[in-house]
């Protein structure tokens, strides 16, 4: 009976590659299936105290918006922004309204990019105190300061409309007596740097800031921040369409109740919200995973999430102040309705999901539904690892079994794993030297970093050719076992931090790792060529270029390369300044796993030297065969 079971297991494992590919295809199909409304859920409000859209909005001061917008257009210039004149004007206007207003100075130095230069910035902050509470809780409404003539790129739009709207809302809120929480109106300079400086200073943790940022202590403080909304609008009219941003640093998401509240209120006022610029559900779910995998915040709201502050971002083009009162009133009414709902909170957001995926703006997939596909992919890798153990490392010799390090099987593979980790460590620490070298030759930092990383990967790819003895010493089956186990464990660990990065990395790496050795029935040269091409495409640099070409809207390889330069530099800098894990995880986990799969190709293609005992037996058998004809003669 035991023999039959063992035979059945061996027969099943002999088809592990085919079964593994079927599992991976099934995982992809399952994830696509989750985009269908029949397999996901409609969003709902778990925190009943929010009651979004129940109250009747009272904001009708269109003249406030128009007047402030005209003043902002006059004052909002690069010269006034750099000199601090515009921030000082914001402080004076908020003080006239009755807010506790102040300006906050900070400096930013990053020698790797800026050299010896130090940048100075000024934030403007105003606090509207609550009338009916102990002022122990607060809400934040913020916008970045980007001057109209600063030449901002498409991803750094003007914020004239947001500034005027926030001033108008501050004036309107001071006339209302039903607020139970303070409202902090925050205007930050230098994007993430200014916001990060204010967040650490507000929480009294300026000493925990990166050495590159120094900030002054605020003269006025408020209570614990319950939620935050970031606005980025160029105009104050034409809010019929806006973009909603939810992803934060390392793919962290806000509580789903906050997202649902904003969506419902926007729908009530006829504002069509878009998520990642797509309405098609499969594409929307894929883009959500891509944004999460990048580890970059979708907008400035993402910097609140590491502080356990639920936050969302709203952005759009907007138009200049319109003579139509209804078109301009919509902007203020939407924000007022959101604030009226958040004002009802009696405790922090906790009742709804923190881990979810959005296949549509009003539908969600919970964590229990979207994690099984990754588990199925890991099962395919586990089958390959079990096959290596049960069937003698999969080299066709069933008598070959795992041995100890002294037996010469585990030791060479362990040394190779250490070398793979060293290449990952080199990719982690080397970008600083790449950027300095590029500056010496007057090359763009992004180009210098990407060329350097490409050189590191080329060195890793050439490692089997430089040290062939180390590869030949490894048993092909033992190396396949190490490659499958390391990749499976790495993907499982990464999924705990960033599910999108783990799942999207598993889709190309898992099948390539399974098929790296290739079917035995193929010719050796063809098997090696197919595996080499597939592994080159699934390498970290290959995935970066392919992702930029497909998802970034690139129309040529040149534009894809430019996008990859920006992406590599952004990932490294955000890891240094914002604490993003994406670059580090790619270097320390995914690159070593890819190198093990790459070495598996050469270990299978190159002949292994015969063991001493096997060589002696073969020599004795040859001599015996040569003596028999002599006796017959």
Give the N- to C-terminal CA distance of the chain in Å, as an integer.
Answer: 51
Name the pLDDT band for 341 (thresholds 50, 70, 90).
very high
In the prediction, which pLDDT does 407 show?
47
In the prediction, which pLDDT does 555 show?
64
Average pLDDT over residues 463-488: 87
Residue 567 host element (H or E): helix 557-577
Average pLDDT over residues 498-527: 80
Average pLDDT over residues 517-524: 63
Which range is least confidently modeled, 25-34, 511-520, 620-629? Answer: 620-629
In the prediction, which pLDDT does 151 show?
47
**Phi and psi (nearest 5°) for 189?**
-105, 155
What are the strands, taking DSSP E only, across 234-282?
Answer: 241-245, 272-275
Q: Which CATH superfamily is domain 48-361 in?
A: Zn peptidases (3.40.630.10)
Return d(Cα 149, Cα 78) in angstroms, integer: 6
Tell how strand 41-42 and strand 363-366 pair up.
antiparallel
In the prediction, which pLDDT does 102 show?
93
In the prediction, which pLDDT does 399 show?
41
Residue 418 host element (H or E): helix 410-429
Average pLDDT over residues 359-370: 89
601 exposed, middle or buried (CB, 10 Å; 0-12, 13-18, 19+)? buried
**Where do we find the tokens 């300044």?**
577
Q: Is 6 helix (H, G, I), strand (E, B) or coil?
A: helix
Nearest to 355 by CA among 366, 364, 346, 347: 366
Residue 628 has pLDDT above 60, yes or no: no
Q: Which residues contact 428 (CB under 8 A, 6 or more apart)?
A: 583, 584, 587, 588
Scanning 106-250, the segments in alpha helix (DSSP H) are 111-114, 160-173, 192-202
**Phi and psi (nearest 5°) for 100?**
-80, 95
pLDDT tens, 421-436?
999 999 999 999 999 9
Return d(Cα 506, Cα 534) in angstroms, integer: 14
In the prediction, which pLDDT does 471 show?
85
* Model pTM score: 0.86
In the prediction, which pLDDT does 262 show?
93
In the prediction, which pLDDT does 613 show?
45
Which range is least confidently modeled, 38-42, 411-415, 523-527, 625-629? Answer: 625-629
Return d(Cα 410, Cα 48) in angstroms, integer: 59
Return d(Cα 129, Cα 125) in angstroms, integer: 13
In the prediction, which pLDDT does 551 show?
61
Which range is least confidently modeled, 102-111, 336-345, 395-404? Answer: 395-404
pLDDT tens, 565-615?
888 999 999 988 888 889 999 999 989 999 998 988 887 766 655 544 444
- What is the pLDDT of the chain when averaged over all its residues? 83
8 Å CB contact between 302 and 249: yes
pLDDT tens, 182-196?
999 999 998 889 999
Average pLDDT over residues 290-309: 90
pLDDT tens, 163-180?
999 999 999 999 888 888
In the prediction, which pLDDT does 227 show?
95
| HSE, side-chain direction, 13 A CA sphere, residue 601 | 25
Nearest to 187 by CA among 213, 172, 211, 169: 169
In Å, what is the CA distance from 372 to each residue of 463, 590, 597?
36, 21, 25
Residue 520 has pLDDT above 70, yes or no: no
Q: Which residues contact 470 (CB under 8 A, 6 or more apart)?
A: 412, 415, 416, 419
Which range is least confidently modeled, 23-37, 70-84, 136-150? Answer: 136-150
Higher pLDDT, 73 or 606: 73
pLDDT tens, 371-385?
999 999 999 999 888
In the prediction, which pLDDT does 149 show?
54
In the prediction, which pLDDT does 392 show?
55
Q: Is 609 helix (H, G, I), strand (E, B) or coil?
A: coil
Return d(Cα 384, Cα 403) in angstroms, integer: 19
Name the pLDDT band for 154 (thresholds 50, 70, 90).
very low
Greatest Cα pair distance in the chain: 120
**Where do we find the tokens 């419902």?**
264
Sign of CA dihedral 51, 351, 177, 183: negative
**Extents of the domains making up the chain:** 1-36+368-393+408-608, 48-361
In Å, what is the CA distance from 176 to each residue of 167, 180, 326?
15, 11, 21
In the prediction, which pLDDT does 515 show?
77
Return d(Cα 25, Cα 381) in angstroms, integer: 14
In Å, what is the CA distance from 319 to each residue of 158, 210, 315?
11, 38, 12
Q: How many CB atoms lie within 10 A of CB 400?
A: 17
């Amino acid at each position: 009976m035991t023999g039959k079971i063992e035979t059945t297991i061996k027969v099943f494992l002999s088809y592990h590659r085919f079964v593994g590919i079927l599992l991976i295809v099934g995982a992809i199909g399952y994830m696509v299936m989750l985009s269908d409304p029949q397999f996901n859920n409609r969003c709902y409000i778990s925190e009943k105290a929010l009651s979004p859209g129940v109250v009747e909005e009272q904001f009708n001061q269109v003249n406030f918006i128009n007047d402030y917008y005209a003043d902002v257009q006059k004052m909002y210039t690069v010269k006034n922004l750099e000199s601090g004149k515009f921030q000082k004007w914001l402080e004076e206007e908020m003080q006239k309204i009755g807010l506790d207003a102040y300006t906050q100075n900070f400096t930013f130095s990053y020698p790797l990019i800026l050299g010896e230069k130090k940048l100075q910035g000024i934030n403007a902050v105003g606090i509207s105190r609550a009338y009916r509470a102990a002022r122990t809780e607060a809400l934040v409404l913020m916008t970045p300061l980007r001057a109209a003539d600063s030449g901002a790129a498409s991803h750094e739009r003007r914020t004239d409309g947001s500034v005027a709207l926030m001033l108008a809302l501050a004036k309107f809120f001071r006339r209302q007596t039903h607020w139970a929480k303070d409202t902090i109106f925050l205007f930050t300079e230098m994007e993430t740097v200014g916001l990060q400086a204010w967040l650490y200073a507000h929480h009294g943790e300026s000493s925990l800031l990166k050495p590159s940022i120094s900030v002054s202590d605020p003269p006025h403080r408020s209570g614990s921040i319950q939620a935050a909304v970031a606005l980025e609008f160029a105009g104050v009219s034409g809010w019929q369409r806006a973009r909603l941003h939810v992803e934060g640093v390392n793919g962290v998401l806000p509580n789903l109740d906050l997202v649902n509240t904003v969506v419902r209120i926007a729908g009530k006022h006829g504002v069509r919200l878009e998520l990642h610029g797509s309405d098609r559900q499969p594409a929307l779910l894929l883009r959500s995973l891509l944004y999460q995998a990048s580890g970059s915040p979708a907008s400035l709201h993402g910097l609140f999430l590491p502080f356990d502050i639920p936050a969302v971002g709203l952005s759009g083009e907007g138009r200049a102040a319109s003579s139509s009162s209804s078109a301009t009133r919509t902007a203020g009414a939407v924000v007022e309705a959101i604030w009226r709902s958040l004002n009802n909170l009696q405790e922090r957001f906790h009742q709804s999901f923190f881990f979810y995926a959005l296949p549509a703006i009003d539908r969600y997939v919970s964590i229990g539904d979207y994690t099984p596909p990754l588990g199925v992919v890991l099962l395919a890798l586990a089958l390959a690892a079990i096959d290596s153990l049960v069937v003698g490392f999969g080299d066709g010799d069933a008598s070959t079994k795992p041995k100890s390090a002294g037996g010469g099987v585990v030791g060479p593979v362990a040394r190779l794993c250490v070398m793979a980790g060293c290449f990952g460590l080199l990719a982690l620490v080397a970008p600083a030297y790449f950027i300095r070298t590029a500056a010496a030759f007057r090359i763009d930092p992004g180009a210098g970093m990407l060329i350097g990383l490409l050189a590191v990967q080329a060195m890793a790819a050439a490692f089997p050719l430089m040290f062939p003895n180390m590869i030949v010493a490894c048993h092909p089956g033992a190396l396949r076992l190490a490659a499958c186990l390391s990749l499976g464990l790495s993907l499982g660990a990464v999924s705990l931090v960033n599910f999108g990065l783990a799942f999207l990395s598993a889709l190309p790496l898992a099948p390539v790792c399974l098929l790296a050795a290739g079917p035995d029935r193929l010719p050796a040269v063809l098997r090696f060529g197919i595996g080499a091409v597939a592994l080159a495409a699934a390498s970290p640099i290959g995935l970066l270029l392919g992702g930029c070409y497909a998802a970034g809207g690139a129309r040529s390889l040149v534009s894809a390369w430019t996008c990859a330069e920006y992406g590599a530099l952004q990932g490294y800098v955000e890891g240094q300044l914002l604490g993003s894990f994406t670059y580090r995880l790619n270097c320390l986990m995914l690159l070593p796993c890819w190198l093990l799969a790459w070495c598996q190709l050469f270990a299978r293609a190159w002949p292994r030297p015969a063991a001493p005992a096997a060589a002696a037996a073969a020599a004795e058998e040859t001599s015996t065969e040569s003596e028999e004809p002599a006796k017959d003669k």
